[in-house]
Amino acid sequence: MLKCDVSEAVLTSLMDAQLRHRLLYKRSTPPWREVFRRRCVDRLKNSRSRLVDRYRQRSTAGALSIVDEVMEEEWTALQAEDRRLLSLRGPRNMQEVGGVVQEYDELAVLDEIQQELMSHEISIIQEYERNLQLEQQYLSSVVEDMEHMHVICPICHTNNLSINSCFVSCPCGLHISTKRSVTPDVLQHLLESRVSEHRETCLQSPVFSIAPGAERSPGLFISCKVRHGRNPAGDWSFTVVDEEK
């Protein structure tokens, strides 16, 4: 009985030694590693929009990461070129790949590539978040600029208009009560649109002026001293900002 136990111990020791030898021998990199790694990295970069879309919809059910999908797609393509490669899914036949040592080595390589891809994936998400933050900051600055934008007085062309809700004024003497809230961007757009409309049919520069009203507050007018079809006198005017009737 003792002799049998010793023989089994010796056999086990020899098997362990052979296993250690095979482990040392199998440290070489699989020939497909670099090709597979490079293809996976390229596919992940090309799938940036898919990853970002999934990140935007992360509140919905489903995995956020696309690393497993990328590896599966590229491994399937690589398998079509080399049928000796294992499947990433389902049970594996150890005999087909030369034993358990090769299986473990391949899994270690796949795990290494997976970790690298996950690192790339995190970088893509971080870049998206940085760009999103910059975009939000830009929009905030635009809104802030609009709130504090300055409109040059169309009368004196020197001072900035003072726009306070329903009242527009300038040190040059411009005083208009609009009876409704007017923001700087709305007023600027209104002035520019009136000038643009005039330039569509006339090369003469229009003039802004204050027209006093008999029964209401003064209004801002734009006028031009040229002949216009139905106005033989040659005077053309249009109210730009006036008191609401």
From first to last of its 245 residues, the chain has per-residue pLDDT tens of 434 444 454 344 544 555 554 555 455 677 888 999 999 999 999 999 999 888 888 755 556 789 999 999 998 888 888 777 666 554 444 344 344 335 457 778 888 999 999 999 999 999 999 988 988 887 787 667 666 678 889 889 889 888 887 888 899 988 888 777 888 888 888 888 888 887 777 777 788 888 775 556 677 888 887 644 333 333 444 455 544 44
Sheet bearing 235-241, strands edge to edge:
207-211, 219-225, 235-241
Positive or negative, the Cα torsion across 117, 75, 103, 26? negative
> Could you tell me which residues are beta bridge partners of residue 225?
235
Angle between helices 67-81 and 33-46 (to 10 degrees): 130
SS3 184: helix
Terminal-residue alpha carbon distance, the chain = 117
Which residue type occupies 113?
A: I
Beta carbons of 29 and 84 less than 8 angstroms apart: no
> What is the rounded CA–CA span in Å between residue 243 and residue 245?
6
CA 117/CA 29 separation, integer angstroms: 18
**Residue written as token pair 């003497």:** 173
Closest CA to 110 of 152, 67, 50: 67
**b/e for 86-120, b at 16 or more Cβ within 10 A?**
beeeeeeeeeebeeeebbebbeebbeebbeebeeb
Say whether pTM exceeds 0.75. Answer: no
